[in-house]
Amino acid sequence: MGTPEQLEAGKAGAVKEFGTVSLSYGHSEILCLPIIGQIEGHIVLPSQNKTTKYEHVLPQLVAIEENPDTAGLLVLLNTVGGDVEAGLAIAELIRSMSKPTVSLVLGGGHSIGVPIAVAAKYSLITDTATMTVHPIRLAGTVLGVPQTYEYLEKMQDRVIRFVVNNSKISEEVFREIMFRTGELARDIGTILVGKEAVELGLIDGVGGLQEAVEKLKQMTDGTQDNETCGNAQPAPSAANHNDGQTHEPTPPDAPQETR
């Protein structure tokens, strides 16, 4: 275990290097994991970019799952999106965890941040936070051949399927807001603000840090079902939606956001 001084030094190092912190809760701990800036995948982004590196996040998620002293995971999102495959990898690990997980969208949970937000067993968004839903975009060299467009469509279907399977939004509504025109400059897609994401069934509820921590404590205490999302509002029909969600840019060999 180490001395108290060593434990404190380890916690300080985790905050400095990865932005993670453990919160004591009874005999266990709730771990806070931030997903911020741009999600970095196979291509290293410039040093001035604020990034979340998937090679840092994936091992942390495995350690959380295997640590008997960790009671649950709180994911804080303020991201513009990024690499599609890296984002999906993070989302899949969060979704497949057996421990209670709660996500909280702060500021923005755009593009590939959408699947990460809905991957938690319960998701929250603040009143002022936004989520942008848009089709996958390509960066870098693009070959003008049918196979390129087939690959792009398959990748887009992967994201749509994940979001639909892990939220209460229907595929028809999600596709409608993803391909809507006129709401984003030089692009197609939709921006959802706070409650709008909840009304569409994409996010489970509107709330902040207090609500997120309380929900996580309920789940760890066994007073809330771990396996179900708590959205009390049904997803409305496409005709009632004027807002939208996001997706990621991605080049065929290394899907990457082009925001």
Question: Counting beta carbons within 10 angstroms of the beta carbon of residue 182, is it exposed (0 to 12), middle (13 to 18) or buried (19 or more)?
Answer: exposed
Long-range CB contacts (within 8 A, 24+) of 144-151? 148/252, 151/252
Number of H helices and number of E strands within the chain?
8, 9
Q: Is 134 a catalytic residue?
A: yes
Could you say which of 22, 110, 134, 241 is catalytic? 134
Of 82, 134, 118, residue with least CA distance to 247: 134
Helix or strand (DSSP H, E) at 33? strand 28-40
d(CA 94, CA 103): 10
d(CA 215, CA 86): 27
d(CA 249, CA 135): 8
Could you say which of 111, 123, 241, 247 is catalytic? 111
Please list the active-site residues: 111, 134
